[in-house]
Amino acid sequence: MSDISTDQIDLSRHLIKNGPKFRSHIIIFEETRAYLKPTLSALMFCLIYVLVGVFLLGLAAYIYMGTRQVDLVIFLSVTGAAIATFGLILLKPFMKYSAFDKGSDEFSNNADRPIKLVNITSLQITNKIITSKHGLSYPCYELNVLTKYGRRMNILNHNDLAQMEADAAKLSEFLGVELLDCKKEIVL
């Protein structure tokens, strides 16, 4: 039985401010482990920036060797380095390792302190609207874990609701905990 009721936890508060407009991860289930793996589309999205940046750096080197146009070389080098760095920064959240391991009895997302699986009382799906400076808005959903001590930790964050619900149901069954679907109707 939980020491803290869900009435004592603000389930409407979002743990992550932003979120991708595409499915970012898949949940892989093994006999005693469930873990997140980035999707190919998420990796490709980030790697395109890295490749464009590296291409511009290579182009800068080629131009320097051929024509020694220093101003163009500096422009291409700075632009290429900035784009490649941006791609690597984008890639970092997709490479985070999150796993539910029944062997060690822990959930870890390598960002927060691990949680013992026996302390997990439920999973939670919430929704939010992501808005940008340009006025474009889209829905995004969070899958969070709740513990009997009132702690919440994010598991997954993307806008594919059907996949989020399917993954959450499988994970709920894997862990033997209830699934709280706290999302409200979103109107854009």
Q: What residue segments make up the domains of the chain, in order of their start? A: 6-37+97-181, 42-93
State how far the Cα of 143 lies from the Cα of 16, in Å rounded to an integer. Answer: 10
The rounded distance, in Å, linking the Cα atoms of 181 and 13 is 14
CB 138 within 8 A of CB 162: no
Does residue 88 or residue 95 have the better pLDDT?
88
Q: What whole-number distance in Å separates Cα of residue 150 and Cα of residue 89?
A: 31
Whole-model pTM above 0.75?
A: no
Give the confidence band of 19 by pLDDT, cuts at 50, 70, 90: very low
Per-residue model confidence (pLDDT) at position 57? 96
Q: Which of 84-88, 140-144, 146-150 has the highest mean pLDDT?
A: 84-88
> 10 pLDDT exceeds 80?
no
Give the relative orientation of helices 70-94 and 40-66 as an angle to the nearest 10 degrees: 160
DSSP 90: H
pLDDT, averaged across the chain = 79
Compute the average pLDDT of residues 93-100: 77
Task: Determine how many CB atoms are found less than 10 A away from the CB of residue 132.
Answer: 9
- Does residue 110 register a pLDDT over 60? yes
Digit-coded pLDDT (tens) for 30-59: 989 998 888 888 788 889 999 999 999 999
Q: Which pLDDT score is estimated for 17?
A: 42
